Structure 1
């Protein structure tokens, strides 16, 4: 043998390579590549997501930092602190030297970014180790799925002897492989959704592995026990008259049961519910009243944006109302002002209900802070309390449906006697109760506004709103020529005197008797008084 050749060199080192080559030949390299690359790509993407969002947090701090002495700034805002800690909790920082100057927020963020770039993570290997179970499951799943596809989805091993039909034992690997295909798609979706909100942990991989195994086992057992569950529907659905082939319904049902987590066990419980009487059932009388409100009712959220928000776990208006606006800005491509506006709208919709929210929006009240300013501001006229209290206490269709479904009635007391009244009469009675005097109406409206805006997520948004508004400087609240600009106060007085003089001259020429202005300046005359004066003369 030519000892200079590479095969000869390998033969001299390891002896006969036949056993090793047999083992390597039995490995399904395509399945192995897919099994290993899936979690590795997810872990690599996790590092990139952290690094990119840490830089976004750094930019956010630079843009909205309050400069000056004795100013807390955005760094002390709880919303900002929660976002920062989410992406830096597991980063390992070098301990500063003793006696060194404490790091400010800017320096700390720079150190965190450097630690992320160098992958300085506490116990990072644990996350990698937790993926081993998923890799093993994925390898065998892809291996059996490839065999099932090669055999025409009728047997787990082929070719079968001529004239021998596949048995149910031969069909079980096919059902298991199809179920794995569904669980794999569901697992990848879950990983990507967790990656979008940076919630990927060891528990994620372990849970996905356990749920996938459970789905495969339970679905396979269901096929073994109920190989033709819909036989009464007809042969066109179940696969025809060939009893040796897998029914068509199972070729669809197996991946579906794997695609929806825990659906196979729930399907089994539904089938056994008639025999198991101790399972607690749900009261679905109010299902029509308890439907979730889609985020699409928010101005600016369309069909595509709704699904983008679902990646962050926002499925309805309540989720959006309680979400951290800085976190939503960091984890989505939407700007901070857009996120704040959406959350402020969602808070108003969540608190007052969809019907009243749409009515208030047509009355130029879009957000929870618009309603607060309309009622609670020191500059708000008292008449606005009457206007918006009427909207907030108006009867809605959902309130009427709740009373009808529950067979309930409201009780009111008149002349010392209690009586049952329908919804519309109760709302009318309640509105009249707080309108006996203007002061009582204002007090009631402000009290209603007080408990509406006292939720923690509303207070958090108000704090962030104030911090950002402060960072934008006072001049952003008005234009240079605005009457609210303090620099225009002298000019405002001159213009007011000129207007009063012009009114006085016009009244003198027309012969009308002037009346005092509302602001106490020179009098003007109204049309009604002019007519009355003419009648008297």
Structure 2
């Protein structure tokens, strides 16, 4: 029996090592694959005529994330195991303790008969044998709540760490955070369990019966961060130090990412792995990084980001009216300013009445005219995220070598010499015969 316990403990210790080891192996593979993709993209996003290592800023940011820039590829990378050693060790120890508790290897009748404040709460034991039996039953209930909380917290830790390697932002703080989350969830769940039992015992008409609802709550507390604390604060408002202004809820808006044409439920789930869960996240994303880190094409990611930027800049009534005239992206909005006929359609679409989504008109006339529409579009286009996307768009457009007038203009501007100083002014006209005098003097 003792040998079986030792073997079980060794197996649980190995299980505690599996997750960190898998995380680091996956991180290394992801880094290698994405560095190869970035190296293949260097020729596409290199600025012609500005040196062999001059890249557009958006690509430099993507390459810097994976340390794949040409002038950094030969430099030795510093060792990271020292920074990760202690946080990973603490995570393994906490996980191992949770697995031991969940497996019941440490549970013996002699141990459970003793009063342990963490597991026994306010339940005291006396010399009566029935009191000892009550103590054992109560501690078993506490251990059950703690086990389900740990399982929920550990599953959440797996999901969190997988997201970190998908986004390639794993750090020692990541392991410290999941460790703190497991400890906080377990302590909160046990505290709520003791409080729940005390509340039930204080009411004569209540009887503590089925424990399944409490175990479900314990699992949810472990899976969702700070759910237990939020539940406790909602039940006891006096514990809330900061008060939320009720008017703030009117500003809390979230546009789901599947508003963008081309994003279905499967792509939405895939993008959620990179914490791109709404339109604002997509509008500010780097399309080059989306191409590198996801299986989707560069043109597809650029189109999604351009659509999201337009949705973020306007309201839904305007977006619906613009799609009727085939304006989907932020650049379509700029192209409609080029001709008077399309400009008139654009003004009409932007002036569509603003509603609350239920048919009630909140603003009938927005006051957008032909004279002000260009200022509005220019203000939208001056956003840094729009400028970054425009630079990527034009760079790829020039690389495609299309025989289009605006492409030729962009290419001529790109290769034109930089003239920092103004050209010299022409000399003033000289009086008749002054040139001959000068020439005679030189001779």
TM range (shorter): 0.7 to 0.9
Offset, 1:146: 1.3
Q: Determine the structure 2 residue equivalent to 1:208.
A: 178
Matched, 1:459 2:387: yes
Give the number of aligned pairs.
Answer: 387
CA contact (8 A) 2:58 2:288 kept: yes
In structure 2, the residue corresponding to 1:130 is in which secondary structure?
helix
Matched, 1:139 2:81: no
| Separation in structure 2 between the aligned mates of residue 317 and residue 423 of structure 1, nearest angstrom | 24
Matched, 1:281 2:244: yes
Matched, 1:395 2:374: no
Offset, 1:125: 2.5
* 2:26 counterpart (36, 45, 69): 45
Q: Determine the structure 1 residue equivalent to 2:436.
A: none
| Separation in structure 1 between the aligned mates of residue 283 and residue 93 of structure 2, nearest angstrom | 41
| Separation in structure 2 between the aligned mates of residue 45 and residue 200 of structure 1, nearest angstrom | 11
Matches within 5 A, 1:171-190: 171-190=141-160
TM-score normalised by the chain length of structure 1: 0.65
Offset, 1:235: 8.6
Matched, 1:81 2:60: yes
Offset, 1:169: 2.8
Offset, 1:197: 0.3
Offset, 1:24: 8.6
Q: Determine the structure 1 residue equivalent to 2:259.
A: 297
Unaligned stretches of 5+ in structure 1? 1-20, 90-104, 241-246, 404-421, 435-440, 479-537
CA contact (8 A) 1:134 1:206 kept: yes
* 2:236 counterpart (253, 268, 272): 272
| Separation in structure 1 between the aligned mates of residue 98 and residue 351 of structure 2, nearest angstrom | 59
Q: Determine the structure 1 residue equivalent to 2:37.
A: 56
| Separation in structure 2 between the aligned mates of residue 149 and residue 355 of structure 1, nearest angstrom | 62
1:167/1:229 CA distance change after superposition, 3 Å: same
1:248/1:394 CA distance change after superposition, 3 Å: same
CA RMSD in angstroms comes to: 3.6
Offset, 1:65: 4.1
Q: Determine the structure 2 residue equivalent to 1:513.
A: none
Question: Larger Rg: 1 or 2?
Answer: 1
| Separation in structure 2 between the aligned mates of residue 336 and residue 75 of structure 1, nearest angstrom | 21
* 2:342 counterpart (362, 377, 384): 384
Q: Determine the structure 2 residue equivalent to 1:31.
A: 12
* 2:223 counterpart (240, 244, 259): 259
Q: Determine the structure 1 residue equivalent to 2:287.
A: 325
Matched, 1:353 2:308: no
| Separation in structure 2 between the aligned mates of residue 133 and residue 402 of structure 1, nearest angstrom | 57
Deviations 1:389-444 (A, max 9, x none): 121122221399999xxxxxxxxxxxxxxxxxx721x43xx25xx4xxxxxx2x32
1:301/1:336 CA distance change after superposition, 3 Å: same
Q: Determine the structure 2 residue equivalent to 1:445.
A: 373
CA contact (8 A) 1:156 1:171 kept: no
| Separation in structure 1 between the aligned mates of residue 83 and residue 241 of structure 2, nearest angstrom | 41
Offset, 1:74: 8.7
1:215/1:300 CA distance change after superposition, 3 Å: same
CA contact (8 A) 2:257 2:282 kept: yes
CA contact (8 A) 2:189 2:218 kept: yes
Where relative contact order (Cα < 8 A, 6+ residues apart) is larger, the structure is 2
Deviations 1:457-505 (A, max 9, x none): 0011011111111121233789xxxxxxxxxxxxxxxxxxxxxxxxxxx
In structure 2, the residue corresponding to 1:364 is in which secondary structure?
coil
Q: Determine the structure 2 residue equivalent to 1:423.
A: 363
TM-score normalised by the chain length of structure 2: 0.77
| Separation in structure 1 between the aligned mates of residue 271 and residue 191 of structure 2, nearest angstrom | 37
Matched, 1:468 2:396: yes
In structure 2, the residue corresponding to 1:167 is in which secondary structure?
helix
Offset, 1:77: 1.1
| Separation in structure 2 between the aligned mates of residue 350 and residue 59 of structure 1, nearest angstrom | 32
Deviations 1:358-395 (A, max 9, x none): 221221111100110111xxxx2223222211211222
